[in-house]
Amino acid sequence: MIKKYAMNKIFVSTLIFGLLLLFYLVPSPSFEVEINEKDDNKEFENVVYLLDDDNYVSRVISYYDETDIDKVIRNKINILINGDKNLDNFYSLIPKKTILKDISVNKDNVYLNFSKEFLNVNKYIEESMVESIVYTLTEINGINNVYINVDGEKLVMLPNSKKVIPYPLTRSFGINKKYDLDSLNDIDKTIVYFVKKNDSGEYYVPITKVSNLSSSKIDIIIDELKSTVNAQDNLSSFISDNVVLEENKIIDDKINLVFNEYIFSDSSKKTILEEVKYVVSQSIFDNLDVKEVIFSTKEHNNIVSIKKK
């Protein structure tokens, strides 16, 4: 019995030794461990409107990592006061020493209370300053109306020109206004987006055409985008003068724009430039109550669809 126990013990010891020897002599397989770190510093596009070298209030993109509405608004206004080091080709419009004292958000309304330094704005850019504030804040989903106070008092007119401010301030206030009036009757505003370039790349500029309403807004938009006058002002659209809008139809918050073949940048591939898609669709969204723009031709339906963000 003792002999059998001893033999078993020797067998087990030999087996363990053999396994250990095998472990050290035979290389173990290598594994690549993929570690996915949580992105706690995710940044979001922060659209603001600043002044470019040609004095156009321009749509440019900064970035932020906030989601709280008050902090988002403060971040935007801070850029409108102090600028952004990443946007060194653009200029802020609110006087530098201005302090945003209070913010109040109620439904689709935002109420801003600035310090008295707000009134020190240069007389040549005071209207552009208001345009910048309104367009910057109404880029926030759900914000449609802006109210401005200075030291707790409603700002009823521009500081220098004394032009009355129409409340609530909405995008209908206009931006980069250009006037083409024959009379003071039937005046209408149409917002049209263009492309501009500087050393940093492309950006977009909305222009408000103030005119006597004689055509549909869609026709005005396409005509303006094709206009050589705007091209002379360094405003581009990348839309050929040969482009014709054959027809348009609105159904269920969607508008189908049917162009001729000149809408294509490459007719063999049936491609439309990104810049063309943007200036057309954004101009439509700012003027018509639709949520989707569809580009088509007579031969090719639904080439591309752009949805309102």
CA distance 178 to 235: 13
pLDDT value of residue 57: 98
**pTM score, two decimals?**
0.82
Over its length of 309 residues, how does the chain's per-residue pLDDT go in tens digits? 434 334 444 444 444 444 434 434 444 333 222 223 334 456 788 999 999 999 999 999 988 887 789 999 999 999 999 999 889 889 999 999 999 999 999 999 999 999 999 999 999 999 999 999 999 999 999 999 999 999 999 999 999 999 999 999 999 999 999 998 888 888 899 999 999 998 889 999 999 999 987 789 999 999 999 987 888 788 999 999 999 999 999 999 999 999 999 999 987 889 999 999 999 999 999 999 999 999 999 999 999 999 998
At 63-96, the pLDDT tens digits run 888 778 999 999 999 999 999 988 988 999 999 9
Pairing mode, strands 304-307 and 292-297 = antiparallel
At 40-63, the pLDDT tens digits run 456 788 999 999 999 999 999 988
Residue 171 φ then ψ, to 5°: -65, -15
pLDDT value of residue 64: 80
Query: Helix-strand-coil percent breakdown of the chain, rounded to 5?
Result: 30, 30, 40
Can you list the positions of beta strands (E) in the chain? 44-51, 57-64, 100-106, 109-114, 145-150, 153-154, 177-180, 187-198, 201-212, 245-251, 254-259, 292-297, 304-307
